[in-house]
Structures are given as C-alpha cells and as structure tokens.
C-alpha cells in the first residue's frame, strides 16, 4: 500500500522552461563567452538543451565544460530567480485530492528552486519541500533526502512512491532504496524502463494509486 508520495519538480510538476525560453539566456551567453573553442556549436546546443533537464553540475561534467565555462555557468545560474508567473502542466490542483502526505524534493540552485516553488504556489500542497542545493557544500543528494523522509515518517520504502522524470536522478535514488518509482512522461520526457510505473499526468497517478491501494 502506498502511504506517501515524493515528487520531483522540474519536468514533473512543471516544465523547466515554464519560466520562459529566454530566462536562461544569461547562462547560455556566459557559457558561450567562456567557451574559447572548447566545444563546437552543435555540442554547445546539446549542452544548452540538457540544462533544461539536468542539474548544471551534471551538464558541465557530461558535456566536458572547461573550468572557465563551468565557473561562468555557475555564477550566472546562481543569480537567477523567478520573479513573475511560471507555467505548469495545468493539473497541479489534483495534488490536493490525492489523499496522502506529499513531499517535494528538487535538485538545483537553492535561490532558483525556491523561487520556482513560490511562483507555482506549491507549498500549499506539500508537508515538506526539500531542496538538494547543488550550490551548497555537502548537499546530501536525493537518495539521502528520501532516506531521511522515510525515517521521519517511519515508513518502509515499499510504502513511499517516488514520482519524477529523470531515470538518473530521482528514479535511480528511489530504486536504490527499494521504493516504487513512477516516471512522469511529460512532453519531451523519454520513456525509460528503470521506473516501475509510467504516467502521463496527475490524472494517471490517481488511477495508479487506486490500483495499488485496492
């Protein structure tokens, strides 16, 4: 039986580009200015596309940023904050009807992720919001945060559902702890068999919960 749900934020509850496609322009410009021939344009474009879907430290490592590129990207992203409206997928109100304790665990820069939570009005739906702040020394990682929530809730891993889009982040963290995992196949998310279940939206999640808890 599922007794609590842990959600990811970006590309799960709201699109990462819900802030607007120009929001990350200062970061892209800073990386380009520091590139100095390290990456060709196609490689840069691929890195920019991944910035919408992965934490910056992962993008920097996987795409071979030079130290100068990494530092420029880091400084530019650290200054970002959502101050206006942010688009979601239109189904956030369904969170209130799931009938279970809900938690949000998201990775990224603390200032930016906290501003997204405010812009979307998410705090009302969750018992706790936890940010794995990659810009803070010793940030715990999602698996450690999941373990903490299990311990605080006194729940076995099998009773806590993890919902997210990224098979190498929250899905992997949940799997490592023996938690049932659900990949949210929002637009642009590629189906991955490392998740136990797959949904398209929060309506599908309600049906899944009904089936699991019957």
Same-domain pairing of 63 and 159 = no
pLDDT score of 10 more than 80: yes
Does 12 share its domain with 28? no
Q: Are residues 69 and 91 in the same domain?
A: no
**Are 38 and 116 in a shared domain?**
no
Looking at residue 156, which CATH number applies to its domain?
A: 3.40.50.1000
The answer to whether 175 touches 20, Cβ cutoff 8 Å, is no
Domain of residue 43 covers 24-78
Query: Does the pLDDT at position 214 exceed 80?
Result: no
Last residue of a domain, one of 62, 78, 94: 78
- Asked if pLDDT for residue 122 goes beyond 80, the answer is yes
Q: Check whether residue 142 and residue 184 sit in a common domain.
A: yes
Instruction: For residues 118 and 202, state if they share a domain.
Output: yes
In this prediction, residues 15-33 reach a mean pLDDT of: 94
pTM: predicted TM-score of the whole model, two decimal places: 0.94
Query: Do residues 161 and 149 make contact, with C-beta atoms less than 8 angstroms apart?
Result: no
Predicted confidence (pLDDT) at residue 213 exceeds the cutoff of 90: no
Q: How far apart are CA 52 and CA 7, in angstroms?
A: 18
Mean pLDDT of the chain: 96
> pLDDT tens across 43-74, in order?
999 999 999 988 898 999 999 999 999 999 99
């Amino acid at each position: 039986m599922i007794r609590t749900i842990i959600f990811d934020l970006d590309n799960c509850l709201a699109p990462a580009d819900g802030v607007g496609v120009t929001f990350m322009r200062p970061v892209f410009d800073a990386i380009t200015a520091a590139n100095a021939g390290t990456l060709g344009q196609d490689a840069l474009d691929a890195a920019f596309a991944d910035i919408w879907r992965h934490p910056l430290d992962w993008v920097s490592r996987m795409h071979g940023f030079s130290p100068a590129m990494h530092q420029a990207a880091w400084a530019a992203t650290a200054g970002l904050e959502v101050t206006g409206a942010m688009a979601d997928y239109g189904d956030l109100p369904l969170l209130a009807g799931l009938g279970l304790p809900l938690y949000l665990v998201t990775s990224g820069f603390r200032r930016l992720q906290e501003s997204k939570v405010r812009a979307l009005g998410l705090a009302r739906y969750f018992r706790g919001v936890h940010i794995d702040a990659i810009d803070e020394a010793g940030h715990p990682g999602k698996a450690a945060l999941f373990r903490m929530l299990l311990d605080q809730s006194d729940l076995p891993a099998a009773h806590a559902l993890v919902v997210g889009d990224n098979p190498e982040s929250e899905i992997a963290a949940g799997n490592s702890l023996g938690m049932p995992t659900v990949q949210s196949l929002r637009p642009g998310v590629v189906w991955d068999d490392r998740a136990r279940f797959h949904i398209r939206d929060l309506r599908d999640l309600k049906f899944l919960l009904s089936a699991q808890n019957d």
